């Protein structure tokens, strides 16, 4: 067996020796995963789970081609990028071929955070400006420079004046909705206003950074034309546009390889950052930019060296991932299976008033749960309940967004129509049995945690009077949000 320790011992040692800030999935009853294959994960008892959340295992967990490419190269050579090596240049060339021609220079790094941090450095160096505009509810990484511009992790930025965030271009719940005559222009105008306000204070914009589709921010699909208009405002102010494709890149949206391309061929960012799926689980990432931005960075005189970035093993793995995406037509699969899953979820929406919205592209889909379709009151606790009940059905799903009420689908790209049907079939009765009814009055203690994408989390404890019988669901802040508004205000 792949299990080295009894589960209780694993948990004990983890609590004792591993930093507590990394939140465990299903903390009331954590899962121990010992192996995975394709879109399935297996616990220590051999129980299989359908994985709807691991976008990192892009071409499928432990894909044999990727494993083999990494193992072979590891047995041959692994060293840093100061030596000439074919893997590095071949990979840069292959990656570039997926992008518009202007985006031609790659920097290889090791995580999404590193990629975004370097993107900010490139932008500030190129423009000579300092301010970064981000989106509400954005998350761009765990390093200091990015926590500063990631409202998702802060709920409130430390110095919002210096780090303005523009409204999330969410046409379901945001300030301009589907009934607005031109939400793209309206949301872009909000960015222009932030720029104007910065200028009034004598500040200058270095960059606008956004995910091409907001993920942690609630699976938000911006209206068509939004990025073109934002880019026009930002570039007029001398800034550049950074597209964070860390979650949504590499064909996940199906119709295009990069999610920014959904906006049309007339939108080309100045810098694109990549991570997560790029190495199918192997830690690697990349920043791609224009020759002008790269040249300006080189001319600054400061050398850039990264010990692990672009090593021959990472590049071999990156090449294998691109090969598999092509060979197995995973982009086409994302179109077909994504559409099928969306159709099934739309059918559930017609049946269950708890579903307010189904949105997304390809295998990047969000299902927003609401208590009321008119007021859009977020069904936060219900979303947690759904996630927990699905886990009992051996389906792994997460809830995200600022209200933690958006069920988030981003499965490995080898997800099948049958997988989609299984999820819908299991979700149907769960939705029927989910709602305020099972909750009864009870005074309790709530450990409040904000649920976060990949483990990082803020943690604080609050006492609260709230109503709940479905105790295993108490693992997140939303419970306090919904049932104990006073506690929320205190926190
Ligand atoms: N950008 C986005 C959009 C992300 O979702 C994440 C991780 N959740 C990051 C950047 C940071 O990536 P990493 O955790 O690899 O540093």
pLDDT digits (tens, 9 = 90+) for 370-416: 999 999 999 999 999 999 999 999 999 999 999 999 999 999 999 99
Helix (H) or strand (E) holding 243: strand 240-244
Give the residue, by CA position, lying nearest to ligand 1 atom 14. 112
pLDDT digits (tens, 9 = 90+) for 90-108: 999 999 999 999 999 999 9
Q: What DSSP character marks residue 390? A: H
What backbone phi and psi angles, to 5 degrees, belong to 116? Answer: -70, -35
Residues 152, 401: Cα–Cα separation, whole Å: 9
Residue 147 pLDDT level (bands cut at 50, 70, 90): confident
- Among 56, 57, 139, 250, name the best residue to mutate to test ligand 1's pocket (greatest count of ligand atoms within 8 A of Cβ): 139
Q: Does position 155 have pLDDT exceeding 70, yes or no?
A: no
For position 80, what pLDDT does the model report?
96
Of the chain, the percentage scoring pLDDT greater than 90 comes to 81
Q: Does position 153 have pLDDT exceeding 60, yes or no?
A: no
For position 211, what pLDDT does the model report?
98
Contact 183, 171 (CB under 8 A): yes
For position 163, what pLDDT does the model report?
67
Q: Does position 488 have pLDDT exceeding 70, yes or no?
A: no
What backbone phi and psi angles, to 5 degrees, belong to 166? Answer: -85, 155
Longest dimension (CA), the chain: 67
For position 158, what pLDDT does the model report?
54
- For Cα atoms 126, 132, 137, give the angle at the middle one, nearest 5 degrees: 145
Determine whether 26 is exposed, middle or buried from the number of CB atoms within 10 Å of its CB (0-12, 13-18, 19+): middle
Which ligand 1 atom is the nearest neighbour of the CA of 275? 15
For position 90, what pLDDT does the model report?
98
pTM over 0.95: no
Q: CB count, 10 Å around CB of 396?
A: 20
**Mean per-residue pLDDT, 309-335:** 98
Of all residues in the chain, what percent are helix, strand and coil, respectively (each to 5)?
Answer: 40, 20, 45
- Among 209, 211, 246, name the best residue to mutate to test ligand 1's pocket (greatest count of ligand atoms within 8 A of Cβ): 246
Distance 409 CA to ligand 1 centre (A): 16
Which ligand 1 atom is the nearest neighbour of the CA of 211? 3
Q: Does position 188 have pLDDT exceeding 80, yes or no?
A: yes
Residues 394, 411: Cα–Cα separation, whole Å: 14
Of the chain, the percentage scoring pLDDT greater than 70 comes to 86
Give the residue, by CA position, lying nearest to ligand 1 atom 12. 112
* Sign, CA torsion 476/481/483/485: positive
For position 162, what pLDDT does the model report?
58
Question: Residue 386, Cα to own-chain centre: how many angstroms?
Answer: 20
Residue 154 pLDDT level (bands cut at 50, 70, 90): low
For position 394, what pLDDT does the model report?
98
Contact 324, 59 (CB under 8 A): yes
Q: CB count, 10 Å around CB of 224?
A: 13
For position 454, what pLDDT does the model report?
32
**Mean per-residue pLDDT, 204-215:** 98
Q: Does position 160 have pLDDT exceeding 90, yes or no?
A: no
Question: Residue 216, Cα to own-chain centre: how many angstroms?
Answer: 5
Distance 142 CA to ligand 1 centre (A): 8
Distance 138 CA to ligand 1 centre (A): 10
Radius of gyration of the chain (CA): 22
Question: Residue 313, Cα to own-chain centre: how many angstroms?
Answer: 25
Q: Which residues of 426-449 are buried (b: 16+ CB within 10 A; e: fewer)?
A: bbeebbeebbeeebeeeeeebbbb
For position 292, what pLDDT does the model report?
98
| Ligand 1 pocket at CB < 6 A | 111-113, 116, 139-142, 211, 215-216, 244, 246-247, 275, 453-454
Give the residue, by CA position, lying nearest to ligand 1 atom 2. 140
* Sign, CA torsion 36/40/43/44: negative
Distance 115 CA to ligand 1 centre (A): 9
Distance 253 CA to ligand 1 centre (A): 18
For position 434, what pLDDT does the model report?
87
Give the residue, by CA position, lying nearest to ligand 1 atom 5. 247
Higher pLDDT pick, 226 / 484: 226
- For Cα atoms 102, 104, 109, give the angle at the middle one, nearest 5 degrees: 135
Distance 442 CA to ligand 1 centre (A): 38
What backbone phi and psi angles, to 5 degrees, belong to 65? Answer: -65, -40
Residues 210, 123: Cα–Cα separation, whole Å: 14
Distance 452 CA to ligand 1 centre (A): 11
Residues 488, 491: Cα–Cα separation, whole Å: 5
Using CA atoms, how far residue 158 sits from 146, 163, 293, 488, in Å, is 12, 8, 29, 19
Q: Does position 149 have pLDDT exceeding 90, yes or no?
A: no
Distance 173 CA to ligand 1 centre (A): 24
Residues 198, 204: Cα–Cα separation, whole Å: 6
Residues 400, 456: Cα–Cα separation, whole Å: 13
pLDDT digits (tens, 9 = 90+) for 25-74: 998 889 999 999 999 999 999 999 999 999 999 999 999 999 999 999 99
Residue 253 pLDDT level (bands cut at 50, 70, 90): very high
ipTM higher than threshold 0.90: yes
């Amino acid at each position: 067996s792949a299990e080295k320790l009894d589960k209780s011992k694993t948990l004990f040692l983890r609590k004792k020796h591993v930093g507590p800030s990394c939140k465990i999935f299903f903390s009331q009853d954590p899962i121990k995963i010992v192996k995975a294959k394709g879109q399935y994960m297996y616990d220590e008892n051999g129980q299989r789970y359908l994985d709807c959340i691991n976008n990192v295992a892009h071409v499928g967990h432990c894909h044999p081609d990727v494993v083999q490419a990494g193992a072979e190269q590891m047995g041959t050579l692994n060293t840093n990028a100061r030596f000439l090596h074919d893997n590095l240049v071949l990979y840069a060339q292959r990656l570039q071929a997926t992008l518009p021609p202007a985006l031609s220079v790659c920097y290889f790094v090791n995580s999404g955070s590193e990629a975004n941090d370097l993107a900010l450095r490139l932008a500030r160096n190129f423009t000579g400006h300092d301010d970064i505009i981000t989106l509400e509810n954005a998350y761009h990484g765990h390093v200091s420079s990015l926590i500063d511009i990631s409202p998702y992790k802060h709920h409130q930025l430390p110095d919002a004046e210096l780090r303005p965030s523009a409204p999330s271009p969410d046409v379901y719940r945001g300030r301009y909705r589907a009934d607005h005559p031109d939400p793209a222009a309206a949301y872009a105008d909000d960015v222009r206003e932030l720029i104007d306000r910065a200028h009034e204070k004598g500040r200058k914009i270095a960059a606008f950074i956004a995910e091409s589709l907001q993920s942690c921010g609630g699976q938000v699909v911006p209206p068509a034309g939004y990025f073109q208009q934002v880019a026009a405002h930002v570039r007029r102010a001398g800034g550049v546009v950074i597209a964070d494709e860390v979650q949504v890149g590499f064909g996940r949206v199906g119709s295009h390889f990069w999610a920014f391309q959904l906006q049309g061929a007339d939108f080309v960012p100045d810098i694109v950052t990549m991570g997560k799926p790029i190495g199918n689980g192997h830690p690697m990432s990349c920043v791609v930019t224009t020759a002008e931005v790269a040249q300006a960075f080189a001319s600054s005189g400061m050398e850039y060296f990264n010990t692990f970035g672009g090593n021959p093993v990472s590049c071999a793995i990156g090449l294998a991932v691109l090969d598999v995406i092509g060979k197995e037509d995973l982009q086409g699969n994302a179109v077909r299976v994504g559409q099928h899953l969306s159709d099934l979820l739309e059918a559930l929406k017609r049946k269950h008033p708890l579903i307010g919205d189904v949105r997304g592209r390809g295998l990047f889909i969000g299902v927003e749960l609401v208590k009321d379709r008119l007021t859009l009151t977020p069904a936060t606790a219900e979303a947690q309940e759904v996630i927990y009940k699905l886990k009992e059905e051996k389906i792994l799903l997460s809830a995200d967004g600022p209200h933690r009420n958006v069920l988030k689908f981003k499965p490995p790209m080898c997800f099948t129509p049958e997988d989609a049907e299984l999820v819908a079939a299991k979700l149907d009765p769960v939705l029927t049995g989910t709602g305020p009814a099972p909750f009864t009055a009870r005074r309790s203690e709530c450990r409040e945690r904000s649920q976060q994408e990949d483990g990082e989390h803020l943690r604080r404890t609050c006492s609260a009077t709230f109503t709940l019988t479905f105790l295993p669901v108490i693992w997140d802040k939303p419970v306090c949000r919904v049932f104990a508004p006073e506690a929320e205000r205190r926190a």
